[in-house]
Amino acid sequence: MSDLLREATARLAAAGVDNPRLDARVLWEAVGGDAERFESFIARRAAREPVAYITGWKEFWSLSFAVAPGILIPRPDTETIIDAVLADYPDRSAPLNILDLGTGSGCILAALLSEYPNAHGLGIDSSEIAQNVAAGNLERLGLGARGAVRAGNWAEKLDTAFDIVVSNPPYIPTADIADLEPDVRDFEPSAALDGGPDGLDAVRILAPELKKLGGVGYIEIGVGQDEAAAAIFTKAGLAVLRVARDLGGVPRIVIVRAKKELE
Ligand SMILES: C[S@@+](CC[C@H](N)C(=O)[O-])C[C@H]1O[C@@H](n2cnc3c(N)ncnc32)[C@H](O)[C@@H]1O
Protein backbone atom coordinates (compact mmCIF):
# COMPACT_ATOMS: atom_id res chain seq x y z
CA MET A 1 0.00 0.00 0.00
CA SER A 2 2.77 2.48 0.86
CA ASP A 3 4.49 1.78 -2.49
CA LEU A 4 1.21 2.43 -4.28
CA LEU A 5 0.77 5.68 -2.38
CA ARG A 6 4.32 6.78 -3.04
CA GLU A 7 4.01 6.13 -6.76
CA ALA A 8 0.62 7.82 -6.94
CA THR A 9 1.97 10.86 -5.07
CA ALA A 10 4.89 11.14 -7.50
CA ARG A 11 2.51 10.85 -10.46
CA LEU A 12 0.23 13.59 -9.15
CA ALA A 13 3.22 15.82 -8.33
CA ALA A 14 4.51 15.38 -11.88
CA ALA A 15 1.07 16.37 -13.19
CA GLY A 16 1.30 19.66 -11.25
CA VAL A 17 -1.27 18.79 -8.56
CA ASP A 18 -0.93 21.11 -5.54
CA ASN A 19 -1.22 18.63 -2.67
CA PRO A 20 -0.25 15.34 -4.28
CA ARG A 21 0.26 13.38 -1.06
CA LEU A 22 -3.02 14.49 0.50
CA ASP A 23 -4.98 13.83 -2.70
CA ALA A 24 -3.43 10.37 -3.10
CA ARG A 25 -4.39 9.55 0.50
CA VAL A 26 -7.97 10.80 0.11
CA LEU A 27 -8.40 8.82 -3.11
CA TRP A 28 -6.88 5.72 -1.50
CA GLU A 29 -9.34 5.98 1.37
CA ALA A 30 -12.21 6.41 -1.10
CA VAL A 31 -11.47 3.15 -2.95
CA GLY A 32 -11.53 0.95 0.18
CA GLY A 33 -8.42 -1.00 -0.81
CA ASP A 34 -9.38 -1.61 -4.46
CA ALA A 35 -6.04 -1.14 -6.28
CA GLU A 36 -7.58 -1.16 -9.76
CA ARG A 37 -10.05 1.55 -8.86
CA PHE A 38 -7.24 3.50 -7.20
CA GLU A 39 -5.28 3.40 -10.46
CA SER A 40 -8.27 4.82 -12.35
CA PHE A 41 -8.84 7.53 -9.71
CA ILE A 42 -5.17 8.56 -9.81
CA ALA A 43 -5.26 8.71 -13.62
CA ARG A 44 -8.28 11.02 -13.42
CA ARG A 45 -6.61 13.23 -10.79
CA ALA A 46 -3.40 13.32 -12.87
CA ALA A 47 -5.61 14.68 -15.69
CA ARG A 48 -6.50 17.39 -13.12
CA GLU A 49 -10.08 16.31 -12.44
CA PRO A 50 -10.92 17.64 -8.95
CA VAL A 51 -10.88 15.12 -6.09
CA ALA A 52 -14.49 15.97 -5.22
CA TYR A 53 -15.75 14.98 -8.68
CA ILE A 54 -13.79 11.72 -8.47
CA THR A 55 -15.08 10.75 -5.02
CA GLY A 56 -18.48 12.43 -5.57
CA TRP A 57 -18.37 14.20 -2.19
CA LYS A 58 -17.26 17.46 -0.61
CA GLU A 59 -17.48 18.65 2.97
CA PHE A 60 -18.90 22.09 3.75
CA TRP A 61 -19.68 23.37 7.23
CA SER A 62 -18.90 19.83 8.51
CA LEU A 63 -21.73 18.39 6.39
CA SER A 64 -21.20 16.05 3.44
CA PHE A 65 -22.51 17.16 0.06
CA ALA A 66 -22.83 15.05 -3.05
CA VAL A 67 -21.24 16.86 -5.99
CA ALA A 68 -21.02 16.03 -9.66
CA PRO A 69 -19.74 17.62 -12.84
CA GLY A 70 -22.00 20.59 -13.51
CA ILE A 71 -22.06 21.56 -9.82
CA LEU A 72 -19.63 24.02 -8.26
CA ILE A 73 -17.55 22.29 -5.58
CA PRO A 74 -18.32 24.11 -2.29
CA ARG A 75 -15.44 26.31 -1.10
CA PRO A 76 -14.37 27.11 2.47
CA ASP A 77 -14.57 30.87 1.69
CA THR A 78 -18.32 30.49 1.29
CA GLU A 79 -18.59 29.40 4.95
CA THR A 80 -18.06 33.11 5.69
CA ILE A 81 -21.75 33.56 4.77
CA ILE A 82 -22.79 31.08 7.47
CA ASP A 83 -20.54 32.76 10.05
CA ALA A 84 -21.97 36.17 9.19
CA VAL A 85 -25.60 35.03 9.43
CA LEU A 86 -24.91 33.29 12.77
CA ALA A 87 -23.35 36.50 14.09
CA ASP A 88 -26.35 38.59 12.99
CA TYR A 89 -29.06 36.13 14.12
CA PRO A 90 -27.84 34.61 17.40
CA ASP A 91 -31.26 33.15 18.28
CA ARG A 92 -31.03 29.64 16.80
CA SER A 93 -34.75 29.07 17.33
CA ALA A 94 -35.64 31.94 14.95
CA PRO A 95 -38.18 30.82 12.31
CA LEU A 96 -36.19 32.41 9.49
CA ASN A 97 -37.33 32.27 5.88
CA ILE A 98 -34.19 31.91 3.75
CA LEU A 99 -33.67 32.28 0.01
CA ASP A 100 -30.50 30.93 -1.64
CA LEU A 101 -29.97 32.23 -5.17
CA GLY A 102 -27.69 30.05 -7.32
CA THR A 103 -27.88 27.22 -4.82
CA GLY A 104 -25.56 24.78 -6.66
CA SER A 105 -25.04 21.81 -4.34
CA GLY A 106 -27.41 23.48 -1.85
CA CYS A 107 -24.52 23.84 0.60
CA ILE A 108 -25.34 27.34 1.92
CA LEU A 109 -29.03 26.66 2.37
CA ALA A 110 -28.41 23.27 4.00
CA ALA A 111 -25.78 24.68 6.39
CA LEU A 112 -28.16 27.46 7.49
CA LEU A 113 -31.13 25.12 7.91
CA SER A 114 -28.92 22.82 9.98
CA GLU A 115 -28.08 25.73 12.31
CA TYR A 116 -31.65 27.07 12.57
CA PRO A 117 -33.99 24.13 13.21
CA ASN A 118 -37.14 26.26 12.84
CA ALA A 119 -36.04 27.92 9.60
CA HIS A 120 -37.42 27.21 6.13
CA GLY A 121 -35.76 27.91 2.84
CA LEU A 122 -35.84 27.90 -0.91
CA GLY A 123 -32.88 27.28 -3.20
CA ILE A 124 -33.01 28.44 -6.81
CA ASP A 125 -30.70 27.55 -9.64
CA SER A 126 -30.85 27.82 -13.42
CA SER A 127 -28.97 24.54 -13.82
CA GLU A 128 -31.09 21.42 -13.91
CA ILE A 129 -28.29 19.27 -12.52
CA ALA A 130 -27.85 21.70 -9.61
CA GLN A 131 -31.58 21.54 -8.83
CA ASN A 132 -31.46 17.74 -8.67
CA VAL A 133 -28.24 17.53 -6.69
CA ALA A 134 -29.27 20.27 -4.22
CA ALA A 135 -32.66 18.64 -3.62
CA GLY A 136 -30.93 15.27 -3.06
CA ASN A 137 -28.47 16.83 -0.60
CA LEU A 138 -31.20 18.52 1.44
CA GLU A 139 -33.16 15.27 1.57
CA ARG A 140 -30.16 13.15 2.58
CA LEU A 141 -29.22 15.64 5.31
CA GLY A 142 -32.73 15.37 6.75
CA LEU A 143 -33.59 18.93 5.67
CA GLY A 144 -35.93 18.15 2.78
CA ALA A 145 -39.08 19.02 4.72
CA ARG A 146 -37.75 22.54 5.39
CA GLY A 147 -35.83 23.22 2.20
CA ALA A 148 -37.23 23.26 -1.32
CA VAL A 149 -35.32 23.67 -4.56
CA ARG A 150 -36.68 25.26 -7.72
CA ALA A 151 -35.60 26.11 -11.23
CA GLY A 152 -35.25 29.81 -11.86
CA ASN A 153 -33.36 32.75 -13.25
CA TRP A 154 -32.14 34.35 -10.00
CA ALA A 155 -35.21 35.81 -8.19
CA GLU A 156 -37.24 36.44 -11.35
CA LYS A 157 -40.96 35.81 -10.72
CA LEU A 158 -40.51 35.55 -6.93
CA ASP A 159 -42.69 37.83 -4.89
CA THR A 160 -42.47 36.21 -1.45
CA ALA A 161 -40.72 38.13 1.32
CA PHE A 162 -37.63 36.54 2.85
CA ASP A 163 -35.80 37.32 6.09
CA ILE A 164 -32.45 36.39 4.59
CA VAL A 165 -31.25 36.16 1.00
CA VAL A 166 -27.89 34.44 0.47
CA SER A 167 -26.02 34.09 -2.78
CA ASN A 168 -22.64 33.01 -4.04
CA PRO A 169 -23.04 34.07 -7.67
CA PRO A 170 -20.48 33.55 -10.44
CA TYR A 171 -17.99 36.40 -10.02
CA ILE A 172 -14.80 35.64 -11.94
CA PRO A 173 -14.11 38.22 -14.67
CA THR A 174 -14.40 36.43 -18.04
CA ALA A 175 -10.83 37.30 -19.08
CA ASP A 176 -9.42 35.71 -15.88
CA ILE A 177 -10.98 32.31 -16.51
CA ALA A 178 -8.23 31.23 -18.93
CA ASP A 179 -5.66 31.72 -16.13
CA LEU A 180 -7.44 29.57 -13.55
CA GLU A 181 -5.97 26.22 -12.49
CA PRO A 182 -6.99 23.50 -14.97
CA ASP A 183 -8.82 21.72 -12.12
CA VAL A 184 -11.27 24.62 -12.04
CA ARG A 185 -11.14 25.95 -15.60
CA ASP A 186 -11.51 22.61 -17.37
CA PHE A 187 -13.89 20.87 -14.96
CA GLU A 188 -16.15 23.26 -13.05
CA PRO A 189 -19.19 24.70 -14.83
CA SER A 190 -18.63 28.07 -16.47
CA ALA A 191 -22.16 29.13 -15.42
CA ALA A 192 -20.90 28.91 -11.84
CA LEU A 193 -17.70 30.85 -12.51
CA ASP A 194 -18.10 33.45 -15.26
CA GLY A 195 -19.22 36.79 -13.84
CA GLY A 196 -18.95 38.75 -17.09
CA PRO A 197 -16.41 41.46 -18.08
CA ASP A 198 -15.74 42.76 -14.54
CA GLY A 199 -17.15 39.77 -12.62
CA LEU A 200 -20.11 41.78 -11.36
CA ASP A 201 -22.83 40.93 -13.89
CA ALA A 202 -24.75 38.87 -11.33
CA VAL A 203 -24.43 41.61 -8.67
CA ARG A 204 -26.07 44.05 -11.11
CA ILE A 205 -28.99 41.66 -11.52
CA LEU A 206 -29.22 40.72 -7.84
CA ALA A 207 -29.15 44.30 -6.50
CA PRO A 208 -32.64 45.34 -7.71
CA GLU A 209 -33.98 41.88 -6.89
CA LEU A 210 -32.75 42.19 -3.30
CA LYS A 211 -34.34 45.60 -3.09
CA LYS A 212 -37.65 44.09 -4.20
CA LEU A 213 -37.45 40.98 -1.96
CA GLY A 214 -36.57 42.78 1.26
CA GLY A 215 -34.71 41.20 4.16
CA VAL A 216 -30.96 41.10 4.64
CA GLY A 217 -28.77 39.95 1.75
CA TYR A 218 -25.42 38.14 2.11
CA ILE A 219 -23.66 38.19 -1.26
CA GLU A 220 -20.28 36.58 -1.89
CA ILE A 221 -17.82 38.51 -4.07
CA GLY A 222 -14.38 37.94 -5.56
CA VAL A 223 -11.06 39.42 -4.46
CA GLY A 224 -11.00 43.21 -4.84
CA GLN A 225 -14.69 43.53 -5.80
CA ASP A 226 -15.96 44.91 -2.47
CA GLU A 227 -16.01 48.62 -3.35
CA ALA A 228 -17.49 48.17 -6.82
CA ALA A 229 -20.14 45.73 -5.51
CA ALA A 230 -21.02 48.07 -2.62
CA ALA A 231 -21.44 50.94 -5.10
CA ILE A 232 -23.83 48.84 -7.24
CA PHE A 233 -25.91 47.88 -4.19
CA THR A 234 -26.02 51.47 -2.93
CA LYS A 235 -27.08 52.75 -6.36
CA ALA A 236 -29.93 50.21 -6.33
CA GLY A 237 -31.21 51.75 -3.08
CA LEU A 238 -29.87 49.15 -0.64
CA ALA A 239 -28.02 49.94 2.56
CA VAL A 240 -24.61 48.27 2.74
CA LEU A 241 -24.41 47.17 6.38
CA ARG A 242 -20.88 45.77 6.34
CA VAL A 243 -18.45 43.58 4.43
CA ALA A 244 -17.40 40.32 6.15
CA ARG A 245 -13.87 39.01 5.58
CA ASP A 246 -12.98 35.37 4.98
CA LEU A 247 -10.38 33.49 7.04
CA GLY A 248 -7.64 34.86 4.78
CA GLY A 249 -8.73 38.43 5.59
CA VAL A 250 -10.21 39.03 2.13
CA PRO A 251 -13.44 41.11 2.01
CA ARG A 252 -15.76 38.30 0.88
CA ILE A 253 -19.41 38.90 1.79
CA VAL A 254 -21.29 42.14 1.21
CA ILE A 255 -24.18 42.40 3.63
CA VAL A 256 -27.04 44.61 2.50
CA ARG A 257 -30.49 45.55 3.70
CA ALA A 258 -33.40 46.52 1.54
CA LYS A 259 -35.11 48.94 3.90
CA LYS A 260 -32.95 51.69 5.23
CA GLU A 261 -35.49 52.58 7.88
CA LEU A 262 -34.88 49.20 9.58
CA GLU A 263 -31.17 49.87 10.16
C1 LIG B 1 -20.60 30.10 -7.71
S2 LIG B 1 -21.87 28.90 -7.91
C3 LIG B 1 -22.44 28.75 -6.24
C4 LIG B 1 -23.03 27.42 -5.89
C5 LIG B 1 -23.29 27.22 -4.40
N6 LIG B 1 -24.24 28.21 -3.90
C7 LIG B 1 -22.01 27.30 -3.62
O8 LIG B 1 -21.79 28.32 -2.94
O9 LIG B 1 -21.20 26.36 -3.67
C10 LIG B 1 -23.13 29.88 -8.72
C11 LIG B 1 -24.40 29.15 -9.01
O12 LIG B 1 -25.29 30.07 -9.65
C13 LIG B 1 -26.01 29.38 -10.65
N14 LIG B 1 -26.49 30.34 -11.63
C15 LIG B 1 -25.81 30.93 -12.65
N16 LIG B 1 -26.61 31.75 -13.33
C17 LIG B 1 -27.84 31.70 -12.74
C18 LIG B 1 -29.09 32.32 -12.99
N19 LIG B 1 -29.25 33.16 -14.01
N20 LIG B 1 -30.13 32.03 -12.17
C21 LIG B 1 -29.98 31.16 -11.15
N22 LIG B 1 -28.82 30.53 -10.86
C23 LIG B 1 -27.76 30.80 -11.65
C24 LIG B 1 -25.02 28.38 -11.21
O25 LIG B 1 -25.68 27.32 -11.88
C26 LIG B 1 -24.28 27.95 -9.94
O27 LIG B 1 -24.88 26.82 -9.36
Query: What is the per-residue pLDDT across 80-98, written as a single tens digit (0 to 9) for each?
Result: 999 999 999 999 999 999 9
pLDDT of residue 257: 97
Banded pLDDT at 263 (limits 50, 70, 90):
very low
- Residue 153 CA to ligand 1 center (angstroms) comes to 10
pLDDT of residue 172: 98
Give 125 Cα–ligand 1 centroid separation in angstroms: 6
Rounded Cα–Cα distance for residues 59 and 260 (Å):
37
DSSP characters over the chain: -HHHHHHHHHHHHHTT-SSHHHHHHHHHHHHTT-HHHHHHHHHHHHTT--HHHHHSEEEETTEEEE--TTSPPP-GGGHHHHHHHHHH---TT---EEEEES-TTTHHHHHHHHH-TT-EEEEEES-HHHHHHHHHHHHHTT-TTTEEEEE-STTTT-----SEEEE----B-GGGGGGS-HHHHTTS-HHHHB--TTS-HHHHHHHHHHHHH-SEEEEE--TT-HHHHHHHHHHTT-EEEEEEE-TTS-EEEEEEES-GGG-
* Predicted pLDDT of residue 259: 65
Ligand 1 centroid–CA 110 distance in Å is 15
Q: What is the pLDDT of residue 262?
A: 42
Residue 99 neighbours by CB distance under 10 Å: 25
For residues 192-213, give the mean pLDDT. Answer: 97
pTM over 0.85: yes
Residue 46 reports pLDDT greater than 90: yes
79, 127, 138, best to mutate for ligand 1 pocket (most atoms within 8 Å of CB): 127
Nearest CA to 103 out of 118, 122, 85 is that of 122
Give me the count of residues in the chain.
263
**Pairing mode, strands 164-167 and 216-220:** parallel
Percent of the chain with pLDDT over 70: 98
**Per-chain mean pLDDT for the chain:** 96
Q: What is the mean pLDDT of residues 17-26?
A: 97
User: Of ligand 1's atoms, which has the minimum distance to the CA of residue 105?
Assistant: 5
Is the pLDDT at 194 greater than 90? The verdict is yes
Closest by alpha carbon to 246, among 80, 26, 127? Answer: 80
Instruction: Determine the distance separating the centroid of ligand 1 and the alpha carbon of 115, expressed in angstroms.
Output: 22
Q: Which atom of ligand 1 lies at the shortest distance from residue 167's CA?
A: 6
Local confidence band at 180 (pLDDT 50, 70, 90 cut-offs): very high
At residue 160, the pLDDT reads 86
Q: In this structure, is the dihedral angle defined by the CA atoms of residues 168, 161, 109 and 244, taken in order, positive or negative?
A: positive
Q: How far is the CA of 140 from the centre of ligand 1 (A)?
A: 21
Whole-number pLDDT of residue 148: 98
Q: Report, as an integer, the average pLDDT of 33-43.
A: 96
Rounded Cα–Cα distance for residues 221 and 240 (Å):
14
Q: Cα–Cα distance between 123 and 105 in angstroms, integer? A: 10
Tell me the pLDDT band of 258, cut-offs 50, 70 and 90: confident
- Which is nearest to 124 in space by CA: 146, 159, 97, 148? 148
Which protein residues are within 6 Å of ligand 1, measured from CB?
72, 74, 78, 102-105, 107-108, 124-127, 130, 152-154, 168-170, 191-192
Whether the predicted pLDDT of 260 surpasses 50? no
Nearest of 194, 198, 240, 236 to residue 219 by alpha carbon: 240
